[in-house]
């Protein structure tokens, strides 16, 4: 930087001003400095800058999942699930124009303390926290740290933190309505894990809407948001309730598996059994027949999380805000 200053015949302070785009620099001098920068090939040292500005220009994407028996499959599951992929894509897209980078940190409860330590050290300016399961203590811990944070769903315990969510119950209702509209009279559902709020909300939303319409004792089987889990759940459900004619599956991945099971068992979709998924991920298009599903705009939601986080970073005292997205029904062939 001294070299640049000397080459341009100005002081270090002026070089700094030019680099940071301060408006109060004379156009001629600005140009001279820029030429000097180009000639010397000068690149600012980010560590030195961070030291004084207290900014790192990066944020963490912390993906908190329940413990897994083995670490390998844990990582693999996370990074292979299209849901997390869409989150990453959405967040990256929103952050990039602001030149903010993303540090991806998967975690389960066994290494919460490492994550917390990382965050405390000031590596990042804020956190996007993807946490779904009920008992997860990480949102609270992060909140207590005082670092800017946005969570991916309404926290289960009431903490004053910003979050972005989709109206889960409305989504479930859209699915239920679609099934009824098609003429289904024996609806059932494969839910997500019931220790996850979104799993619970979708189940509850589905059932309570149907109850209003006079359908009680709607069968439900708990799934685990994987294809294999969906397939197994569908087999179980049809074994116990062969009369079913409509099925709401709480994720597209599970729906893909369920569709397979249903067809293996000789049911035609949608004629014998109509199936509605949830997510509208790429998996919906991998199904045959193409999956009718409830669209959750995951990329937009992640982008919104990023925007809210950046706002928090820019103005520290800012009050938490929550944003709820509306799901929509995407009608294809399966229902």
Partner DNA sequence: CGGAGCCGTGAGAGCGCTCTTTCCCACATT
Partner DNA sequence: AATGTGGGAAAGAGCGCTCTCACGGCTCCG
Number of residues that bind its own copies (CB under 8 A): 51
Given its own copies, DNA, none, residue 12, with its beta carbon under 5 to 8 Å by kind, binds DNA
Given DNA, its own copies, none, residue 187, with its beta carbon under 5 to 8 Å by kind, binds none
- Positive or negative, the Cα torsion across 19, 24, 29, 30? positive
Residue numbers of the site for DNA (CB under 7 A)? 1, 9-14, 16-17, 19-20, 24-26, 29, 42-45, 48-49, 51-53
Nearer to DNA, 44 or 219 (CB): 44
Give the up-direction half-sphere exposure of residue 44: CA atoms within 13 A in the CB hemisphere.
14
The one among 1, 29, 104, 265 contacting its own copies by CB under 8 A = 104
Shortest separation between residue 48's beta carbon and DNA, angstroms: 3
Site pattern 28..47 for its own copies (x: CB under 8 A):
---------------xxxxx
Indicate the SS3 state at residue 248. strand
Contact 172, 234 (CB under 8 A): no
Shortest separation between residue 264's beta carbon and its own copies, angstroms: 8
Contact 302, 89 (CB under 8 A): yes
Contact 230, 190 (CB under 8 A): yes
Give the up-direction half-sphere exposure of residue 279: CA atoms within 13 A in the CB hemisphere.
27
Q: Is 20 in the site for its own copies (CB under 8 A)?
A: no
Burial class of residue 141, CB neighbours in 10 A (0-12, 13-18, 19+): middle
The one among 48, 211, 314, 331 contacting its own copies by CB under 8 A = 48
Q: How far is CA 311 from CA 98, 150, 153, 304, in A?
A: 12, 11, 18, 11
The one among 18, 30, 36, 82 contacting its own copies by CB under 8 A = 82
Task: Give the integer Cα–Cα distance in Å for 136 and 108.
Answer: 9
Q: Is 76 in the site for its own copies (CB under 8 A)?
A: yes
Per CB under 8 A, residues contacting its own copies are: 43-48, 50-51, 54, 56, 58, 71-72, 75-76, 78-80, 82, 84-86, 88-90, 92-93, 99, 101-106, 114, 117-118, 120-123, 227-228, 256, 260, 281-282, 285-286, 288, 299
């Amino acid at each position: 930087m001294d070299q640049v200053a000397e080459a341009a015949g100005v002081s270090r302070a002026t070089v700094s001003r030019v680099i940071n785009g301060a408006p109060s620099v004379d156009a001629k001098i600005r140009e001279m400095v820029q030429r000097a920068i180009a000639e010397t090939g000068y690149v600012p040292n980010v560590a030195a800058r961070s030291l004084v500005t207290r900014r790192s220009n990066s944020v963490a994407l912390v993906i908190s999942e329940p413990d897994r028996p083995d670490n390998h499959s844990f990582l693999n599951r996370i990074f292979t699930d299209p849901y997390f992929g869409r989150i990453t894509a959405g967040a990256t897209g929103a952050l990039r124009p602001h030149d903010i980078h993303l540090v991806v940190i998967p975690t389960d409860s066994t290494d919460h303390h490492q994550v917390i330590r990382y965050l405390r050290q000031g590596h990042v300016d804020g956190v996007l926290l993807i946490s779904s399961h009920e008992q997860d203590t990480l949102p609270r811990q992060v909140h207590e740290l005082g670092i800017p944070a946005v969570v991916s769903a309404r926290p289960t315990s009431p903490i004053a933190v910003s979050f972005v969510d989709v109206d889960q119950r409305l989504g479930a209702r859209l699915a239920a309505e679609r099934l009824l509209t098609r003429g289904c009279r024996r609806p059932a559902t494969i839910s997500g894990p019931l220790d996850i709020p979104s799993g619970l909300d979708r189940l509850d939303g589905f059932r309570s809407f149907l109850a209003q319409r006079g359908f009680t004792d709607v069968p439900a089987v708990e799934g685990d948001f994987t294809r294999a889990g969906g397939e197994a759940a569908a087999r179980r459900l049809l074994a116990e309730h062969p009369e079913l004619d409509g099925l709401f599956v709480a994720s597209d991945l599970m729906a893909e598996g369920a569709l397979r099971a249903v067809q293996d068992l000789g049911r035609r979709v949608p004629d014998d059994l109509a199936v509605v998924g949830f997510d509208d991920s790429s998996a919906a298009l991998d199904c045959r027949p193409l999956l009718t599903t409830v669209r959750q705009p995951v990329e937009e939601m992640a982008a919104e999380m990023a925007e809210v986080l950046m706002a928090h970073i820019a103005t520290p005292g800012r009050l938490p805000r929550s944003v709820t997205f509306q799901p929509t029904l995407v009608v294809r062939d399966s229902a």
